[in-house]
A and B are shown apart, each in its own frame.
Chain A
Amino acid sequence: MKTLTFSLLLLAPVALRAADAAETAHAGLAPDQLQFFEKNIRPVLVQSCYKCHSSESAKVKGGLTLDTKQATLLGGESGHPGVTPGNIAKSSVYEAMTWKNEDMQMPPKQKLPDDVLANFKKWIEMGAPDPREGKVVNASGGKRVIDMEAGRKHWAFQKPVKHQAPAVKTPDWAKTEIDRFVLAGIEANGLHPMRDADRPTLIRRIAFDLTGLPPTPDEVKAFVADQSPEAVKRVIDMYLDSARYGERWARHWLDVARYAESSGKEVNILYPHAWRYRDYVIESFKKDKPYDQFLKEQIAGDLLKFDSKRDQANKIVATGFLAIGSKGHNNRDRRQFSMDVVDEQIDAVSQSMLGLTLACARCHDHKFDPVTQRDYYALAGIFLSSETLFGTYEQLQNNNTAGLIELDRTAGQIAALAKISKAEVAELNGDYEKAKTAAAEAQREIFAMRQQDRAKAGAANFLRVRGARDRAEEVKADVDLFYEDGTPRTLAMGVLERATPVNTPILIRGDIKQPGDVVPRGLVEVLCAKGEPLHISPESGSGRLDLACWIASKDNPLTARVMANRVWLKLMGGGIVPTPDNFGAMGQKPSHPELLDYLAVTFMENGWSVKKLIREIMLSRAYQMGSHYDAANYAVDPENKWHWRMNQRRLEAEAIRDAMLAMGGTLNLYPVDGSPVARAGEGRQGLIAVFRGELTGKPSTYRSIYLPIIRDQIPEMLSVFDYPDASLVNGDRDTTNVPSQSLYLMNNPQSQRAADAFAARISKHPGNSAERLSYAYELAFGREPTNLEKAAIGNFWMRFPQMVAKSSGGGKDAREQAEFAALSAFCQSLIASAEFRYLN
């Protein structure tokens, strides 16, 4: 790949000529070649081409400049080289001069004389000797020529180095290295750190951060009582070891992995096997799989070594990452569809793992980052050389289907479906045969129709055949779910190698009808050191494994930083880089660059252990600070950029819902087998179920991570509390504070049911009223009510039961009912209050 340098300065004409002359003297070309150029080539260029194709042109056309050697070789926006020394066929400037291509005839008004053309041919064949070594000038309106050397200077493209923690004025405050970096920022900005959080607040914070659930009253008591200096560490480790940890942190990654169980876009076809990837992510976090390994598996798990069939199956499931993206299945142009799939893959991989928006270079060089269209198509070749297996079957709106990967029967994978009997298998097969026959019959009848009748029937005929075939396909999809003995087959979405890897041409402006140069499969130039090999060797197959290893490498300047920032963001309530999915020029700069480097390097040194990274951050005093308000600090830094306090954080939708269920003790902590989407099936029935809200509207008591995630049909509870767009990489959820949330908590039957369960639990708690009140508070907030709160509750109790009893008539039952209603309303108030959904 060419490396280009350019100057942004528009050289003044005089300076340019002077430079030309100087270079001529130092060009080191053979005198006869030089003479040939000066006599036969330069005058023609100046006279016939420069008007539109030089850095002095008022408007450069086609992005092509011919007044420097480099630019002449490079060519214009067509993507074809202008001149390839010694190769007439690859010299688009020459081709244009010959007027052979109707669309590209230069100069446009008058073809150059034959003897001039002959000279150009001769010049190119002799190696296009050219003394004009001046730098490529990026003329206004011309092609944006990317200077890779300059591009490499971007902060995020430098390898992170472990910095010495800075000197601080009050070193005693710092508990860990992290604290010194944070404190330096606090001190430098004239701020002071807040006091430490109290124990109940701290354990609530740690529990939610690690498990997505509130601490139990016993856990709180034990922690408050534990005077050992190891207390915090112990409680962190306890939650890190909990199975709930995997579910909590997997959810963060699923946001980044744009996980969902349907295609989204126009048709929203279900992906009944997507949940395997979800479970893989949960398991990976639970086991603290090294992050580099985790990334490698998601890009190229099918190509990695494995030590058992189970291990192999898990690694294949990991590649589901590449297959679960949103897709426009109704696209009639299959080539366009596959380029769109590849684009989505490049977008997801680059944003989630590298914090780069490489997909922006699909139609043109990246407008802001030093990424060329060649880089994009080099990556595209890698993905095109792999087969993306996303399943689905053919139907009216689905013109693009693919297979699935069948996992080995003995690989110990769970199934979403129960085993069916042999008789049921036979029935399914029978249904399929019948449906096929019906489809064939319909087809035959239509063929047998007289011409005029067929014309009259028109679209109705088409729909009839199509409908019959769809029904057959739908039954076939069900047949395919089982072995002949009725055992469900274990199928997965994912990616496999194609037999023959391919390179793809650059598509000019992203248009599949306008292929340019074919680009060898390769990596992103700006992230490779100068001179490092970029291309995938022919022995490497698609190159996916190379790509995986290159991303999951200590030498990649972005990978560890991006993840360290993601973890910091989740724990601290704001990223060191506030744009976690964009570390490029359009992203924001880090507030604490040296801290970010420190975290990234330590992360790698600790074997890419996410748990260790989390533990290190949590053990810092910065993490353990209170979230108290301070007027002086607030006036200077209201956004808390410098971490003078812990951010008050709104819990994510999942954590709020899980905590609501946990209050009543009704949260089901067993993982779901598969997903309701898997049981709905792929067919029309599945879609109808979605449309009716049967999948997403049903109350469920499983942890939120197991709820069905259908694009554009996100369960209401999650959607109200800012679930992100499931089609996009999202490392930082928005938090809104709007009346629709208040309405949900006050009026939605699910909120009311949660409150009832909570009330039932309180009413059964042994002890007197005061003890029950304490218990309710311990469950909900991990603390005792204050006197002010007790007064407010008393006030409520004075009015509310009476009102309810009044409206529901007399009798002992009514009184008891009113009392329970009041208790439920009280419990709902705790759930609805700000403290329930904000972490201090």
Chain B
Amino acid sequence: MNTTPFSRREFLKTGSNGFGYLAFAALAQQQALRADAQAATGPLAAKAPHFAARAKHVIFLCMQGAPSHVDTFDYKPKLMADSGKAAPSAAGRYGTAKLMASPWKFKRQGKSGLYISELFPNLGKHADELCILNSMSTDLPAHPQAFSQLHTGTTQFVRPSLGSWALYGLGTLNENLPGFITVNPPGNATRTYGSAFLPAIYQGTKIGGNGFPGGGAFARRFGGGVEQATVANIKNDRYTTQEQRAQLDLVQALNKSRMQQDGGVSPEVEGVIEAYELAFRMQAEVPKVMDLSKETAATKALYGIDVQETDAFGRQCLMARKFVEAGVRFIEITNGNWDQHFNLKAALERNTGAIDTPIAGLLTDLRQRGLLKDTLVVWGGEFGRTPHSQGDDGRDHNNKGFSMWMAGGGVKGGMNYGMTDDYGYEAVQNKMHIHDWHATVLALLGLDHERLTFRYAGRDFRLTDVYGNVAKEIMA
């Protein structure tokens, strides 16, 4: 339809409800006040790293609750041999506890012969791609604090998370999507994807998660929830894109006016402005990226989609690949309930059963698409568990030694880095504190953790505070 049914003048003159009278005044300075839609893209624009990057993207598979390392990736023959004996005096604080061998067998896997528990039959086939970090440690054996440290480096303060730092350092490769996406974060862990004092635009955008439509524990419980785990309200049913842009221009002009009245500086209002621009662009891009329906049956099978135990995590892993393809910088997927104080045998098997196929599928898929070399896949939780038992069938918290692993993105495959003592209590060789792990992840992204700083309160802040050693040995 080419003819306009009403002239602009008609609206201006006859409108009984509207504010046409203002439009007359506005005619003169039409362009002057239009919100600058491009401005917000500035802080997210791709930036050059400090030095040559080995990885461009990160997929962090975050296992909340602290998975047991001695049952998964830390093979301890002496623990098997001494099972049932009193815990050693190194663990004097544990009193009369008894060592407990892993109920699962470990097998050498791949050409490299890495020991991996039978809990991961499929992931085990990727042993030659895995760099298993056996000497992790963190400050405190308490979930909230350690979960915070895993993400932000500090147990106590509100600080930017690893994903926010990465995004701040590198920008994103697709400005129509958030550069940092977190899938199913725990409900009470906002700070693990928060940007703290970094501009709000570097905050993670969550998809699913507690209480979210189509996400969260409830949906997971009733199955099929993740299928709907999408970005809520992504579609506007009322206005065309052009109309919505006009509306948004008004919103942004009002926001800018507000900021001026506040003295010209308001990180909060600035955050609102940027969030709108990103939201507007996401409307076009997100549905395309999140649509799994066009994936082939073979791809879906690879991730364990449509198989009850693996469906939920499989979909999330596949989504992660699509986000990487689309240029998202940092993707985190949280998988919960690894806190096996009791019921270790059944619960750990259930947990690993849900992720083994999907992760193996993700690695295979990334490799076959040529994405693995640019994508750092990281797996781990906030700490590990004790080699001795808690009750008959459980393990307690252990922050002094645990395991994580990395794959792709310029790390050496088929290697163990560092080790714990004979039983798995404490890291004893090539210790890797969370600070070191952060420094290493950043280094793989081409960022120098000592130079990646943000001036705040008169001081340059770093993710690693005053700590952090890069584990160069693991780099390919």
Residues of A within 8 A of B (CB): 52, 57-63, 76-78, 103-104, 141-144, 266, 268, 360, 363, 367, 508-511, 513-514, 586, 588, 627-631, 634-639, 648, 650, 690-691, 693, 697, 712-714, 716, 719-720, 722-725, 728, 730, 734, 736-744, 746-749, 752, 759, 762-763, 769-770, 772-773, 786, 788-807, 809-811, 814-815, 818-823, 825-826, 828-830, 832-835, 838, 840
Contact = CB atoms under 8 A, between A and B. Distances in A.
Contacts of B221: 266, 268
A63 B18 contact: no
A792 B33 contact: yes
Contacts of B20: 769, 797
Given A628-B263, A794-B26, A691 B93 contact: no
6 contacts: A141-B92, A724-B188, A738-B200, A799-B246, A802-B6, A823-B18
Interface stretch (B71-79, B118-126, B233-241): B233-241
A725 B23 CA distance: 46
B25 interface: yes
B33 A791 contact: yes
Contacts of B352: none
Nearest to B91: A141
A746 B234 CA distance: 9
A62 B86 CA distance: 10
Interface in B1-34: 1, 4-6, 8, 10-12, 15-27, 29-30, 32-34
Contacts of B259: 834
A744 B254 contact: no
B467 interface: no
Contact of B18 (A77, A648, A748, A769): A769
Nearest to A508: B95
Most chain B C-beta atoms within 10 Å of own C-beta, residue among A62, A360, A635: A62
A830 B232 contact: no
A826 B263 contact: no
Given A691-B218, A712-B187, A810-B5, 6 more contacts: A630-B263, A716-B212, A738-B275, A798-B8, A803-B246, A840-B262
Chief secondary structure at chain A's binding surface: helix
B396 A833 contact: no
A762 B265 CA distance: 32
B268 A790 contact: no
Most chain A C-beta atoms within 10 Å of own C-beta, residue among B237, B268, B457: B268
Contacts of A798: 8, 12, 23, 26-27, 30
A636 B459 CA distance: 10
A801 B18 contact: yes
Given A792-B253, A792-B254, A63 B238 contact: no
Given A648-B268, A791-B25, A814-B5, A742 B211 contact: no
Contacts of A833: 251, 254-255, 258, 272
B18 A815 contact: no
A826 B250 CA distance: 8
B231 A638 contact: no
A830 B22 contact: no
B210 interface: yes
Nearest to A336: B342
A513 B97 CA distance: 13
Interface in B377-394: 390-392
Contacts of A803: 240, 242-243, 246
Contacts of B265: 629, 631, 634
A58 B141 CA distance: 24
A78 B233 contact: no
B18 A62 contact: no
A740 B206 contact: yes
A799 B458 CA distance: 46
B233 A830 contact: no
B353 interface: no
B256 to A, nearest CB: 8
Interface in B270-293: 271-273, 275-276, 278-280, 282-283
B346 interface: no
Contact of A742 (B222, B243, B275): B275
Contact of B264 (A142, A629, A788): A629
A796 B216 contact: no
Contacts of B16: 763, 819
